[in-house]
Amino acid sequence: MNKDPSSRESKMSRDSLKILADNISKVIVGKKEVTELLLTSLLAGGHCLMDDVPGVGKTKLANALARSLGIDFKRIQFTPDLQPADITGIYFYNQKEGDFEFRPGPIFTNILLADEINRAVPRTQSSLLEAMGEQQVSIEGTTFPLEHPFLVIATQNPLELEGTFPLPEAQLDRFLMKVEMGYPTVEQEVEILSRFKRQDPLQDLQPVLDGKTIMALRAEVTKVHLTKDLMSYIAELARTTRQNRHLRLGLSPRGSLALMQASLAYAYLQGRSFVLPDDVKYLFPHVAGHRLVLEYDSEYHTGTKSELIQEILRQVPVPTEDVLHES
């Protein structure tokens, strides 16, 4: 009996994602969960904020993904003196042509690594807003579309470190999710030392996917099944954050959409054609955490916001009916 061609194509697509993850693991040791979350952002068409102390591999992971995809990649080192035009580009007067010409900035790429984004002043950080939200850049009355796919991977250091500026709420809301790398175990660190003893394996990393494949995978993600009950669950989680007395700013509708898109992409990444309640629960802290703003007098502080998120998850009933066979 002949197999469904669409099923074969779907399996090939998922196989390509495993190849991509395996390629990244040649450089990044023991960070399967973090890699999966970054790939979830890629599949969902969202941007990813990587937050952790210096030296744990945030930039290395972003570079490994970019090199594995074989698409245009640019990196911007954010500093206090960085200006918006350094990111978006400028018009300059070409004396030879006798006219103004546009010189595009590094934002005109497929993957943009905004390294240490919170070392730039808020005005410069905000220059990414239009590009991240609408995939276009407007300069002096002219709008320039950005290429597909377009992904911003930003790294930031904890705000307690000297020389950092908090990202505005509007900027944070543009990131699909925030991910923390964490320190490696002793065994993982020994493997890192062994692997990097002779040379950086990033230098030999070869592309395994291209932009066309990424766009095809994103189209596949939209076919993943999501029940009405799970949509209601996402909406109820958002409503609960908005009514929580400890929160000054709850989850926005953009945040609800981000949770839905991330859940679809994560389910697809796991090889399923449907979303489970556990997918939503697992992704909720990564999607909602950076969007929620505490009240000034809340008993929770930055270090325990995760406890508040878990409390919200406990408050909202989880759908229990069959998510596979709902019409």
CATH code of residue 232: 1.10.8.80
pTM for this predicted structure: 0.87
Which of 183, 207, 233 is a domain's end point? 183
Question: Is residue 209 in some structural domain?
Answer: no
What are the angstrom distances between the C-alpha of 109 and each of 103, 119, 149, 150, 258?
Answer: 13, 22, 9, 7, 23
**Residue 245 belongs to domain spanning:** 218-327
Number of folded domains in the chain?
A: 2
Note whether 132 and 6 are same-domain residues. yes
Which of 167, 183, 199 is a domain's end point? 183
Note whether 38 and 148 are same-domain residues. yes
User: Cα(218)–Cα(135) distance, rounded to whole angstroms?
Assistant: 16
Question: Which of 23-37, 101-115, 204-218, 256-270 has maximum average pLDDT?
Answer: 256-270
CATH at residue 32: 3.40.50.300
Q: Provide the β-strand partners of residue 49.
A: 154, 178
Question: Is residue 189 in some structural domain?
Answer: no
Q: Is the pLDDT of residue 270 over 60?
A: yes
Question: Is residue 233 in some structural domain?
Answer: yes
Q: Tell me, what amino acid is at 147?
A: E
Question: Is residue 197 in some structural domain?
Answer: no
Per-residue pLDDT of 54-74, as tens digits, reads 777 888 888 899 889 888 889
Which of 183, 204, 232 is a domain's end point? 183
Note whether 233 and 169 are same-domain residues. no
Note whether 51 and 111 are same-domain residues. yes
Note whether 15 and 130 are same-domain residues. yes
Percentage, residues of the chain above pLDDT 70? 91
